[in-house]
């Protein structure tokens, strides 16, 4: 598969997989993006040098019983006729999401036992029309289960060649360390990646998890580097932008969705965003480029997961590839986040 440009590559943990430093997320495919637009976004990503695509069995978001799995189906159809080995495909088994992701999959059940993991991977392989998944991730950990049971089931998939590497998402420091210790103790495949929220507006990952990643050779795949679109500035005019996910959640969402949106769209995040827009202007770049470049400029990050709901958003994202923010810009960002978000630090 010919690329118009090369992009820096990083290893996922200690696995044999190397990926582009930007990953195209697909959770908008099937809800905010129709199939034709989804295909164009993936085509343009490949042209920009991206070889890494992230999906999930419950996508598109917001999840629904009717649409669950559609995103994987479209990614699988897009891959037809392409060199499969040139693409790195990641997807996720739903896991226990405290009721939020459970209803759309497997009859409303999403336990991380051998039975459900086997059913989930078989469904993903079928929809993706492939005989292996490069990175298979636990979407939400199930802390009520023995983690050795989950890891043993995932280890079987690696042994059988159905999965090349495994990862976890939305995990805590304790949960990640417990899982790594369990893998080491029982001789099971280790998590090579963790996919958590990480952005200029949410730097909690740096408190403890970053140190776990550094010492245990686990790579972060940050999602929501634009803080759910907030860092684009589209919420800063005092109105809820039409068609935006958090606008819909705040206007029409369930209590859980409204609470989630409020964590992203609030006075502190909007003030931080306004300051980031100023820093980006001084650095002569789009604030989206600034936020994306900042995300991937951490030693524990392997690839930053971006997303798009229209083609026009791609140029500012792709401009962050191979871009290194200078020390002055990084210091300015740190000063703002310490002042507004973390005044006690």
Residues forming the active site: 59
CB 136 within 8 A of CB 166: yes
Cα 12 vs. chain centroid, distance in angstroms? 14
The count of residues in the chain is 345
285-299: b (≥16 Cβ within 10 Å) or e: bbbbbbbbbbbbbbe
Number of Cβ atoms within 10 Å of the Cβ of 251: 10
Distance CA 321, CA 136 (A): 25
- The percent of the chain in helix, strand and coil, each rounded to the nearest 5, is 45, 15, 40
CB 306 within 8 A of CB 225: yes
Side-chain half-sphere exposure of 43, counting CA atoms within 13 A: 11
């Amino acid at each position: 598969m010919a690329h118009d440009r090369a992009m820096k590559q990083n290893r996922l943990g200690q696995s044999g997989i190397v990926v582009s430093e930007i990953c195209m997320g697909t959770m908008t495919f099937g809800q905010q993006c129709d199939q034709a637009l989804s295909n164009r976004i993936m085509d343009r990503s490949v042209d920009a040098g991206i070889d890494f695509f992230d999906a999930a069995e419950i996508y598109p978001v917001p999840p629904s019983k009717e649409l669950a799995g559609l995103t994987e189906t479209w990614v699988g159809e897009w891959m037809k006729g392409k060199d499969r080995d040139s693409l790195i495909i990641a997807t996720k088994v739903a896991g226990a999401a405290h009721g939020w992701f459970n209803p759309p999959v497997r009859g409303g059940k999403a336990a991380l036992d051998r039975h459900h993991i086997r059913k989930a991977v078989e469904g993903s392989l079928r929809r993706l029309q492939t005989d292996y998944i490069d990175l298979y991730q636990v979407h939400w950990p199930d802390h009520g289960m023995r983690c050795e049971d989950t890891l043993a089931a995932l280890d079987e998939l690696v042994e059988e060649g159905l999965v090349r590497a495994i990862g976890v998402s939305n995990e805590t420091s304790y949960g990640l360390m417990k899982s790594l210790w369990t893998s080491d103790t029982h001789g099971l495949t280790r998590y090579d990646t963790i996919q958590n929220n990480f952005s200029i507006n949410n730097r909690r990952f740096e408190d403890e998890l970053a140190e776990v990643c550094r010492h245990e050779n686990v790579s972060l795949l940050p999602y929501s580097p634009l803080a759910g679109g907030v860092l684009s500035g589209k919420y800063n005019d005092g109105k809820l932008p039409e068609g935006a996910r958090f606008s819909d959640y705040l206007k029409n969402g369930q209590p859980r969705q409204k609470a989630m949106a409020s964590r992203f769209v609030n006075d502190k995040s909007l003030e931080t965003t306004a300051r980031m827009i100023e820093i980006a202007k001084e650095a002569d770049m789009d604030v989206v480029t600034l936020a994306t470049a900042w995300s991937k400029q951490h030693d524990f990050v392997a690839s930053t997961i971006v997303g798009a709901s229209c083609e026009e958003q791609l140029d500012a994202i792709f401009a962050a590839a191979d871009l290194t923010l200078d020390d002055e810009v990084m210091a300015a960002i740190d000063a703002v986040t310490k002042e507004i978000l973390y005044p006690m630090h």
